Amino acid sequence: MTGSKPAQPFDPSAPPAEPESCPFCNISKSFSSFEPAHPPPSSSPSLDPSALAPPAFVVLSTPALVAFLDILPLSAGHLLLCPRAHRRKLTDVTPSEAAELGVYLRVLSAALVRATGVPDWNVVQNNGAAAAQVVNHVHYHLIPRPEIRASGRFSESFTMFGRGTREELDDDEAAELAERLRLSIALVLEEEGRKGRL
C-alpha cells in the first residue's frame, strides 16, 4: 500500500471524478501490482481490502491494469477491469493498454466462470454519461448471469445498468470470492501457458 490519503466513500451522484478524486485511481494507487500467475495469499497486507473506504477486493493487479469486485454488484462475481492510468473513455487508452485489456478480459472471463460456476456472463463497457458511465475512468464490467428461469422465477429477468437490483457487497463473501478469483486466474494462466495461448 502507498501512503496516500484514504479515499472518500463513492458517491454516484457526484460530478465526474478527476484523477485525484477518482475511486478507480485510488484503488490503482493503493494496491501494488503482483504476478497474476502467482498471487499473494489473501492474508497479505498488499491485498488488505480495508485500505480504502469502501473496501476494495482486488483480483488482478498488473503494472498497467487492475481488476476488482464491484461494490454494488448486479450478481455475485461482478468484476470491474480498468487501466491504472486515468483514462476517461476507451478512445483514451494507449494501444498497449488496449492490448492488455483484451488479453485480461479473456482470462478474467474464464476465471469468472470457474470461480462462480456460472457459464454465462456479460462484458459491458460504457463511454460517457449518456452511455451510463458512472465513474469517469474507463472500465469493463464482467457480470455473471446465472440462469434464473431454472429456479422457477419466470417473471424475473436481468436488466442492464440503472435498472437491475444492486445490493452492497458483503465483505466476508467478497473476501472469499476474491481469493477464489485470484486462484482461478492463476489456473487459467497456467492452462493457457501449457496450450501456448499466452
Q: 434464473: which residue's cell? A: 148
Reduced to 3 states, what is the DSSP secondary structure of residue 145? coil
What is the 3-class SS of 11-35, one letter each residue? CCCCCCCCCCCCHHHHHHHHCCCCC
Evaluate whether 108 touches 142 at the Cβ level (below 8 Å).
yes
Positions marked active-site: 139
Phi-psi region of 196 (alpha: psi -120 to 50; beta: other; left: phi over 0): left
State how far the alpha carbon of 192 is from the alpha carbons of 44, 49, 95, 128, 168, in Å. 26, 29, 23, 34, 34
Q: Is residue 171 helix, strand or coil?
A: helix
- Across the beta sheet with 140-144, what order do the strands follow? 58-61, 65-69, 79-83, 140-144, 121-125
